[in-house]
């Protein structure tokens, strides 16, 4: 059996660690189920510095050291790879996650210590790599879903790994290998609702994969059917994701019975009192299932006795929970059902309240559906978490003022994110040259600069530069319409745009391209009485 | 609770223990002050001070 060390890289150092890495916890469970010897070093949780990472690397004779994560773990992953090569030179280094998947060839080039990358979903690929290493093999190109190094130099991408269909065959995540008591439960609080604020033993679960929508700033990690393999300009195989006019999706979700059993396991073993659903978009699954999935999960909550009950002293028993919703896909009925089962808050990517911006972002939401879902959610007794973004390609002074008015009218307290073209998103593909130009052609610098989009990195707005966006956001937070009006006059003068004309530099061709695809999403959502409508329109396939 | 930072399904050859946090009063102060940075809340991060002023 292979001796495997999995390392969870450090991310968001400015904050405390809040989330057990679900993917690593699943891979650890899968590898153990296959009989391998597994240890986890949660560097992000412990934050013990390089000396401890070095000590971990020499603590045993590792056959495999695996690491990976989201794009913003890049700096940490690069450091771990260097340490691992120096202190555990015998170990095969395996990298995976959204970070590797979005740019497999670049990552293998920027991090030369990686022996094999796991492209896309690792549930089958990773254990196959472990088995091969255990047998003494190193022909990773024989395993689907890998990128590895040719013996004579260069990279080989093997065939694409199909997505796993029988999700319920997955074991439960190996939460016990992470410092729950020492770190994670202390950071259980989620400041999105009263119940979230009082959470003291929270775990997160992921119960579905995929999203039917085509938000152009979204990256679906290559596990939502969003990834294709194509030959690049050099004739080499490479990954491709959403592109204007080309969208593919696969909608997969666990059965409500699996979800119930998973939560029961978390409760029985760890005595949790709050669950965070990590799912990309719970409402996609609900619609896809013909409006049964969410209802059945809520029934599981009731049947297992987890639906919260209020105590006289203001506290409650049971397990509250929270997740993600969608303005157009949610219904008044499902929100009510969710609240009765203990849902405390739902994250809505409203992004903007400006109709002309919403039309271009591929979200399938309108100002009206944003407002409707906002009130439905409040009426159901759930707190909506109204995420906002500024700096979209066609952001202009009108959209900025529309957002401010909406925040003012709706009591929204928000500091918006900046539209950020994460690798793997459509806007990364569309704006790649523009992004590269902002980092002197050094794409690695861009990756290192990426955070959680609350700070600014590459700008994709056609109308505003980074400094303008930072200033505008500050004025928006203060609802300072006067300053914004004043700056608009300066901006118009600088760009020779007369009063009365739209305050935009975006070409009509580009706006038209965005609007064409937006109509596609809109018609899919309107036609959603049939549960497979979204799949047909976006080329998605459903699996359950 | 274990003192070992490694958690798994077997005993490793060497144990790697948690280093106890060495947070100083200075660290704590700077972290708390940073949370409220702005307006009249300003402070000097002593670890970042360039002491060799002649070079400037």
pLDDT in tens, A416-432: 999 999 999 999 999 99
Q: Mean of the pLDDT values across residues A45-58?
A: 96
Cross-strand pairs, A229? A239
- Chain-wide mean pLDDT for chain B? 84
Contacts of A59 in chain B (CB under 8 A): 6, 12-16
Say if residues A296 and A492 touch (Cβ distance below 8 Å): no
Say if residues A172 and A207 touch (Cβ distance below 8 Å): no
Q: Cα distance from A14 to chain B (closest Cα, Å)?
A: 10
Eight-state DSSP code of residue A95: E
Give yes or no for A270 touching B (CB within 8 A): no
Instruction: Find where tokens 């690049």 sit.
Output: A232
Coil, strand or helix: which one is A148? Answer: strand
- Chain-wide mean pLDDT for chain A? 93
Eight-state DSSP code of residue A394: T
Give the burial class of A214: count Cβ atoms within 10 A of its Cβ; 0-12 exposed, 13-18 middle, 19 or more buried. Answer: buried
Candidates B16, B22, B31, B35: best to mutate against A (most CBs of A within 10 A) is B16
For B10, name the nearest residue in chain A, comparing CA atoms only: A37
Give yes or no for B37 touching A (CB within 8 A): no
CA–CA dist A499, A275 (Å, integer): 51
Eight-state DSSP code of residue A144: T
Helices (H), A111-188: 125-135
pLDDT of residue A524 exceeding 90, the answer is: no
Residues A148-172: tens digit of each pLDDT: 999 999 999 999 999 999 999 999 9
CA–CA dist A179, A41 (Å, integer): 10
Instruction: State the pLDDT confidence band at A542, using cuts at 50, 70 and 90.
Output: very low
Q: Cα distance from A529 to chain B (closest Cα, Å)?
A: 48
Return phi, psi of residue B4, to 5°: -85, 135
Considering only CB atoms, B8 lies closest to which of A38, A61, A182, namely A38
- Fold equal for A3-169 and A188-533: no
Q: Mean of the pLDDT values across residues A37-46?
A: 97
Q: Mean of the pLDDT values across residues A265-285?
A: 97
Candidates B3, B4, B5, B14: best to mutate against A (most CBs of A within 10 A) is B5
CA–CA dist A444, A71 (Å, integer): 11
Provide the pLDDT for residue A531.
38
Instruction: State the pLDDT confidence band at A530, using cuts at 50, 70 and 90.
Output: very low
Give the burial class of A327: count Cβ atoms within 10 A of its Cβ; 0-12 exposed, 13-18 middle, 19 or more buried. Answer: buried
Query: With an 8 Å Cβ cutoff, are A40 and B10 in contact?
Result: no
Coil, strand or helix: which one is A537? Answer: helix
CB-side neighbour CA atoms (13 Å) of B45: 8
Residues A326-344: tens digit of each pLDDT: 999 999 999 999 999 999 9
List all residues 6 or more positions away from A154 whose beta carbon is below 8 Å from its beta carbon: none
Q: Which two tokens stand for residue A290?
A: 């013909």
For B20, name the nearest residue in chain A, comparing CA atoms only: A48
CA–CA dist A158, A143 (Å, integer): 7
Candidates A21, A59, A61, A174: best to mutate against B (most CBs of B within 10 A) is A59
List all residues 6 or more positions away from B8 whose beta carbon is below 8 Å from its beta carbon: A28, A37, A38, A39, A40, A177
Question: Which is more confidently placed, B45 or A436?
Answer: A436
Query: With an 8 Å Cβ cutoff, are B8 and A58 in contact?
Result: no
Residue ranges of the domains in chain A?
A: 3-169, 188-533
Question: Could you tell me which of A120, A291, A277 has the C-alpha nearest to residue A196?
Answer: A277
Interface subset of B 15-34, CB within 8 angstroms of A: 15-16, 18-19
Instruction: Find where tokens 């091969």 sit.
Output: A132
Query: Percent of chain A beyond pLDDT 90?
Result: 87
Say if residues A428 and A458 touch (Cβ distance below 8 Å): no
Q: Mean of the pLDDT values across residues A382-409?
A: 97
Is domain A188-533 classified as CATH 3.40.50.720? no
Residues A479-523: tens digit of each pLDDT: 999 999 999 999 999 999 999 888 898 877 666 666 666 666 655
Q: What is the CATH number of domain A3-169?
A: 3.40.50.280
Instruction: Find where tokens 């903007």 sit.
Output: A352
Complex ipTM, two decimals?
A: 0.86
Provide the pLDDT for residue B12.
97
CA–CA dist A437, A434 (Å, integer): 5
């Amino acid at each position: 059996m292979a001796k495997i060390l999995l390392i969870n890289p450090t991310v968001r150092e400015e904050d405390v660690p809040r989330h057990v890495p679900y993917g690593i916890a699943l891979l650890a469970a899968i590898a153990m189920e296959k009989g391998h010897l597994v240890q986890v070093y949660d560097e992000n949780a412990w934050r013990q510095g390089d000396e401890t990472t070095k000590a971990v690397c020499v603590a045993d004779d590792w056959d495999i050291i695996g690491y990976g994560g989201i794009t913003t773990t890049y700096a940490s992953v690069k450091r771990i790879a260097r340490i691992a090569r120096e202190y555990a030179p015998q170990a095969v280094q395996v990298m995976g996650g959204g970070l590797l998947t979005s740019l497999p060839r670049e990552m293998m080039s920027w991090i030369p210590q990686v022996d094999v990358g796991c492209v896309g979903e690792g549930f089958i690929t990773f254990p196959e790599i472990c088995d091969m290493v255990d047998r003494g093999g190193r022909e990773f190109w024989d395993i689907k879903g890998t990128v590895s190094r040719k013996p004579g130099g260069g990279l080989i991408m093997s065939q694409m790994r199909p997505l796993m269909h029988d999700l319920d065959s997955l074991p439960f995540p190996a939460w016990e290998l992470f410092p729950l008591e020492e770190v994670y439960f202390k950071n259980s609080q989620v400041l999105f609702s009263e119940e979230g604020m009082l959470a003291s033993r929270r775990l997160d679960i992921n119960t579905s994969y995929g999203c039917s929508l085509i938000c152009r700033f979204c990256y679906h990690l290559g596990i939502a059917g969003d990834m294709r393999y194509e030959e690049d300009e050099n004739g080499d195989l490479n990954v491709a994701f959403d592109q204007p006019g080309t969208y593919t999706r696969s909608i997969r979700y666990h059965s409500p019975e699996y979800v119930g059993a998973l939560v029961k396991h978390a409760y029985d073993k760890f005595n949790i009192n709050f669950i965070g659903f990590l799912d990309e978009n719970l409402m996609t699954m609900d619609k896809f299932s013909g409006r049964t999935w969410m209802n059945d999960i809520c029934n599981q909550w009731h049947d297992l006795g987890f639906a919260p009950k209020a105590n006289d002293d203001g506290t409650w028993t049971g397990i509250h929970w929270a997740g993600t919703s969608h303005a157009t896909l949610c219904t008044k009925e499902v929100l009510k059902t969710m609240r009765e089962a203990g849902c405390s808050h739902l994250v809505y990517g409203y992004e903007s309240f400006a109709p002309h911006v919403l039309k271009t972002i591929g979200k399938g939401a309108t100002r009206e559906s944003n407002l409707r879902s906002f009130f439905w959610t409040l009426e159901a007794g759930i707190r909506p978490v109204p995420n906002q973004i500024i700096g979209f390609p066609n952001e202009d002074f009108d959209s900025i003022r529309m957002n401010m008015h909406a925040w003012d009218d709706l009591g929204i307290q928000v500091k918006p994110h900046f539209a950020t073209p994460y690798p793997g998103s459509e806007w990364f593909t569309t704006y790649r040259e523009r992004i590269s130009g902002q980092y002197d052609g050094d794409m690695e610098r861009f990756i290192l600069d990426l955070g959680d989009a609350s700070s600014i990195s590459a700008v994709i707005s056609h109308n505003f530069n980074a400094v303008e966006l930072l200033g505008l956001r500050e004025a928006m937070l203060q609802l300072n319409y006067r300053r914004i009006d004043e700056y608009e006059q300066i901006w118009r003068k600088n760009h020779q745009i007369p009063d009365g004309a739209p305050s935009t530099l975006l070409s009509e061709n580009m706006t038209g391209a965005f609007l064409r695809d937006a109509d596609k999403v809109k018609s899919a959502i309107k036609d959603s009485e049939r549960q497979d409508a979204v799949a047909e329109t976006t080329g998605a396939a459903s699996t359950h | 609770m274990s003192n070992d930072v490694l958690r798994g399904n077997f005993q490793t050859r060497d144990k790697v223990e948690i280093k106890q946090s060495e947070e100083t009063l200075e660290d704590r102060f700077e972290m708390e002050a940073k949370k409220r940075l702005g307006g009249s809340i300003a402070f000097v991060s002593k670890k970042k001070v360039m002491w060799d002023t002649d070079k400037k």
